[in-house]
Structure 1
Amino acid sequence: MIKKIYNFDKFIDRSNSDSLKWNKYNKNIIPLWIADSDFSCPPCILKALKERINHGILGYGIISKNLSNIIIERLWKNYKWKINPEWIIYISGVVSGLNLTIRAFTTNKNSVIIPIPIYPPFIYATNLAQRSKIYTKLIQINNRFIIDCNYLNKHIYGNEKLIMLCNPHNPVGTSYKYYELEKILEFVKKYNLIVCSDEIHCDLILEKGIQHIPFASLNNDAEQCSITLMSPSKSFNISGLNFAIAIIPNKKLRDTFNLFKQGISPNIDILSCIAAESAWKNGNDWLKKQIKYLKINRDLLFYAINKLPYISMLKPEATYLGWINCSKMNILNPALYFEKYGIGLSSGKDFGDANFIRFNFACTHDILKKALKRIEHAINQL
């Protein structure tokens, strides 16, 4: 067997491309904000795309049966979650799935439960649909951020219809344990809620001994009340191709979702389908090597941040995102402060907590070390 070598240390200059990440700031600022990695896509994806382009025709496409089979086999192999092909709905992205879910299953008389801090499109989708929100702050237990079901039980008003999950949780990096998901399910059953679970980071588990558990895989009760959103986009760095899936076992929920999807969410283009199929079928070796590389970056970031005064962070179990506590800096806008010293980071305000910044460490070791030196210099100037 030929050993495959992938070079994650290779720097690819994206500053002169149409990269959203690398064109937000001027060239003197290292962009470590949006969840977009700087690693070249797996060779298997590039090869599959080139072959299709060389065919010469890019007309209307259909979802291949092979892709559904790959998804079914992957979910069983990785999570022992057995799904049926009709449960899979193809959508143009997880953010589309969030918006469709909120509009399909709530009215302006319902509230949506959102744990914060959280990926901003959860909040934006609720605002766009003009739904009221119930925020519940994640609590810190044993160096992990988790949902506080005790708080939720005390703040239910009767008009709640939907609870939004992010597992693994962006931006805090928590991968929920089985018993934690059971507690959430108990709460959901008590108040007859629907669960929308964004599991886009499910492949990116960094902590030894941790296993991603899809919420819907708990049991039949969890399946019947859930919409699970997944995509290869983060794991294989193909976010520029619009592809995701919604897995909805409950036929009534699935029919409603499909009804709202008609004419609004476009059909998936053939290149996105080819990339997804290649990623999930042939990209696992590359994914394993990437995770090893990300673990090194995660540990470098964790130890460097916690050596400095004024800032700290917990070690993320999953994702390639660091959630850094800047509350002791006593600065109104920490992200703007660090930008002055050459690092472009995400403001915690957009996630629901202005005392934090989010740091994307899916970059080369050299870029990370350079950024950490700039953070150290910025802190020393306080």
Structure 2
Amino acid sequence: MEILILIIAIAVVAVGAASGLVIGGRRKKALPPPPRETPTLTPGRSAAPAEPKTGDEAAPPAEEDVRRTIEEVVLPDGDTVVEVSGPPLDVPEPTAGRLVRLRSRLSRSQNALGKGLLSLLSRDHLDEDTWEEIEDTLLTADLGVAPTQELVERLRERVKVLGTRDPAELRALLREELLRTIGTDLDRVVHTEPGVSADGAELPGIVLVVGVNGTGKTTTTGKLARVLVADGKSVVLGAADTFRAAAADQLQTWGERVGARTVRGPEGGDPASVGFDAVKEGISQGADVVLIDTAGRLHTKTGLMDELGKVKRVVEKHGPVDEVLLVLDATTGQNGLVQARVFAEVVDITGIVLTKLDGTAKGGIVVAVQRELGVPVKLVGLGEGPDDLAPFDPEAFVDALIGD
């Protein structure tokens, strides 16, 4: 029995020893390192560098950035204001003398007329054939039949009385007669005087711009805004041409260049409503002038012309319209007179704007359209530049016509 107990004890000891060897032979599993503490950052200071990895101990420590105390930091002046604004506004050229500055552009296209007349008048013998040539030259320039006959008759009489062939005297004579034909005593001012609205508020000057598609009407409206801004007036634009999608965008671009607000409506909306709202906006802003660009109506479309009359009537609920400017393309010549007559029947035209006058030798249209409508040419367009719209000056025009 004792021997059996001893054998069991030896076996237990042997098994325990074997278990110890197995346990002792196993590698302990490495525990994850404790998380590093995140340093607390002080405003304006960077975090401390990370502890070096294996092998980094041999590298020299990096130099720390030079730090300044709060007393060493120079702060901006408290009165300094940082302005955030859009693109700078254009500064339009002054209108005084603008036509004189553009004279060379005008004379390039008109000199043929003036030089042709002077050449004919300087002939040694002015017979009937010569006077017929003079008459044809004036008719070709779109002066019109009646004005041409009157001018030729006066020239014949004065040349006969003076009996001169001196170029300087002939030029002075022709200049005088052309000025008389064009008219120097007409009121060519674009009137934009403030008034009083129906409810007693101060009313800005109201200008309607009308004309056929393709005459440069919307562009002329934008350029006219520049003319008024150059004269020190504040302007509100009304984009009442709701039938052309690009018309309102184009007008708004012109307005943004000089700081003029543009009132517009939905595409295909009521033009009269836009015109009414534009004047209302002008009253609320205290603007000096409201320019309303109407749709470029074909003069053959009776319904559209009636709508133009509606725009004027609705706008006049605020107060009277100061100007109705008809834009005509000078290159169309006598065809423009047909348009002018129809527009004059719908709205009371008070002034004419002749565009593209630098692109035609038919400067006589100035006389013809004035004679047809009984209203003066007030503005002329002489190029594609933003400041190429000029108040019409008869003397500068005639001087460009006949040259020096």
Same fold (TM over 0.5): no
Tell me the TM-score range normalised by the shorter chain.
0.3 to 0.5
Whichever of the two has the greater Rg, that structure is 2
Query: Which one has a larger percent helix, Structure 1 or Structure 2?
Result: 2
Query: Which one has a larger percent strand, Structure 1 or Structure 2?
Result: 1
